[in-house]
Amino acid sequence: LTREHLHQAIDESLTRLQTDYVDLYQLHWPDRKTNFFGKLGYPYDEEEEDTTPLEETLAALKELVDAGKVRAIGLSNDTPWGVMRALHLAETLDLPRVASVQNPYNLLNRSFEVGLAEIAHRERVGLLAYSPLAFGVLSGKYLEGARPRGARLTLFERFQRYTNPQAEAAAAEYVKIARDAGVDPAQMALAFVNSRPFLTSNIIGATSMEQLESNLESESLRLDHDVLEAIEAIHQRQPNPAP
C-alpha cells in the first residue's frame, strides 16, 4: 500500500474499466500484522514490522481524491483499531475520511458487532457486508455433507471457513428456523443482515438468475419477532462459530 503502488494500481484499474474515476476505492486488507480473515488472537510481535505506514497510504489516497480519480475511500477486513486509527489520521492530518468498511457479516459470523458496530454507528462508517450467506452454507444446500454439482464448495474445497462442525450445526438450526416459519433460508439470512442498523450495503452473490431473483426478493422481507428471537437464541448458544 505504498504511494507508488497505489498510483500504479488505480491508473491500471481505470484503464481496464474505461472510466475516469471510481466511486469507492478500498484497501483490501491492512498492511500490518493483525487478526483478519478469521484469525483469532492478536499476533503481538515486538519486532518492527516491515509495513507501509498508514499515513503514507492515506496521503497517497488524498492525492487520488484530489486528482478526481477516486471519490471516496474505504477499508476492508479491518479491525476496530484500524478504523479508528484511519479516522484519527484523517482528522489530524487533513486526509480523506474512510466512508465504509467491508468485512464479513452473516449469521455464522457476527464478530463485527463486538467492536466495529459502535464505530459504524457513532462515526458513520457503515458496513459493506460480504459473505452474507456464508459461502451459501446458510441456504441449506450443503446440509448433511451435500455438495451440489457446480456449487462453490463443491468446486473449491479450500473454502472451509464456514464448514467446521460448529458452523454446520448452527447453520442447520438457522435453516430449520426459516423453514418452520415458511421462509426461504437464504432470504432469511439476507434479511437478517439487511435489518442491522450499522449496514450500508449487503454484498450478495449469485451464479444463476434464479439465485439473483431470490436474493433480490429478500430486500422486502421483514423478519418477525419470533424469528428474530429464535435467531438470537442460537447465537447465544453458539456465537460466531465461523469467525
- DSSP H stretches of helix in the chain: 3-17, 54-66, 80-93, 112-123, 152-155, 165-180, 185-194, 209-217, 225-237
Last residue of a domain, one of 57, 84, 104: 104
| 87-116 residue pLDDT tens | 999 999 999 999 999 999 999 999 999 999
Number of domains making up the chain: 2
Grid cell 503481538 in the structure block, residue: 44
Amino acid at 180: D
Asked whether residue 123 is assigned to any structural domain, the reply reads: no
pLDDT for the residue 135: 87
pLDDT of residue 78 exceeding 90: yes
Last residue of a domain, one of 64, 87, 104: 104
**What domain range includes position 20?**
1-104
Contacts of 194 (CB under 8 A, 6+ apart): 202, 218, 219, 221
pLDDT band at residue 48, thresholds of 50, 70 and 90? low
Asked whether residue 95 is assigned to any structural domain, the reply reads: yes
Asked whether residue 111 is assigned to any structural domain, the reply reads: no
Question: Is residue 67 located within the same domain as residue 148?
Answer: no
Question: Is residue 241 located within the same domain as residue 157?
Answer: yes
Asked whether residue 166 is assigned to any structural domain, the reply reads: yes
Grid cell 435453516 in the structure block, residue: 175
Rounded mean pLDDT of 64-85?
Answer: 97
Question: Is residue 164 located within the same domain as residue 207?
Answer: yes
Question: Is residue 201 located within the same domain as residue 157?
Answer: yes
Question: Is residue 137 located within the same domain as residue 90?
Answer: no
